[in-house]
């Protein structure tokens, strides 16, 4: 599925199953919550925190998909074409960082 297709699929899901979009501020709060859930899993799975009994059924891929879903909702609501936005962003990063990371001593192993 392309990003453009994902935006259309999410829009269709929202307008059928989801009834309507939450407002942008509500979705921003939900996005923050979902990112926090990803952070919680990362801290336990790859960081130094230990899992709690309530963490046994967590699924990192599912939580990342939740983040993507809400981000796509926000893009749809605000008229952002994520395909074009990502292309533009990568061009900016490539131009800005073409030598920066190569010359970063911290990244050399």
Q: Is residue 109 part of a domain?
A: no
pLDDT at 109 over 80: no
Average pLDDT of the segment spanning 7-17 = 98
What are the helix (H) ranges across the chain? 3-16, 24-45, 60-78, 82-97
Domain that holds residue 24: 3-82
Per-residue pLDDT at 102: 82
Looking up residue 55, the CATH number of its domain turns out to be 1.10.287.1080
Q: Is residue 74 part of a domain?
A: yes
pLDDT in tens, 89-108: 999 999 998 888 888 888 88
Q: Is residue 39 part of a domain?
A: yes
Q: Is residue 20 part of a domain?
A: yes
Domain count, the chain: 1
pLDDT at 37 over 90: yes
Q: Is residue 103 part of a domain?
A: no
End-to-end, the C-alpha distance of the chain in Å comes to 36
Q: Is residue 91 part of a domain?
A: no
In sequence order, the 6+-apart residues with CB closer than 8 A to the CB of 83 are 2, 3, 4
The structure's pTM equals 0.89
Two tokens at 109? 């192993």
pLDDT in tens, 47-95: 999 988 888 789 999 999 999 999 999 999 999 999 999 999 999 999 9
Per-residue pLDDT at 54: 83
Q: What is the mean pLDDT of the chain?
A: 94
Alpha-carbon distance of 50 to 104, in angstroms, equals 33
């Amino acid at each position: 599925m392309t990003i453009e297709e994902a935006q259309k699929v999410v829009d269709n899901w929202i307008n059928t199953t989801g009834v309507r979009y939450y407002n942008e501020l509500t979705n921003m709060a939900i996005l923050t919550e979902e990112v926090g859930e990803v952070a919680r899993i990362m801290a336990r799975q790859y960081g130094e925190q230990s899992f709690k009994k309530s963490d046994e059924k967590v699924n990192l891929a599912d939580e990342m998909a939740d983040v993507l879903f809400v981000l796509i909702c926000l893009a749809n609501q605000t008229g952002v074409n994520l395909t074009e936005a990502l292309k533009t962003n990568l061009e900016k990063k490539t131009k800005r960082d073409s030598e920066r990371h190569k010359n970063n001593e911290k990244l050399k192993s």
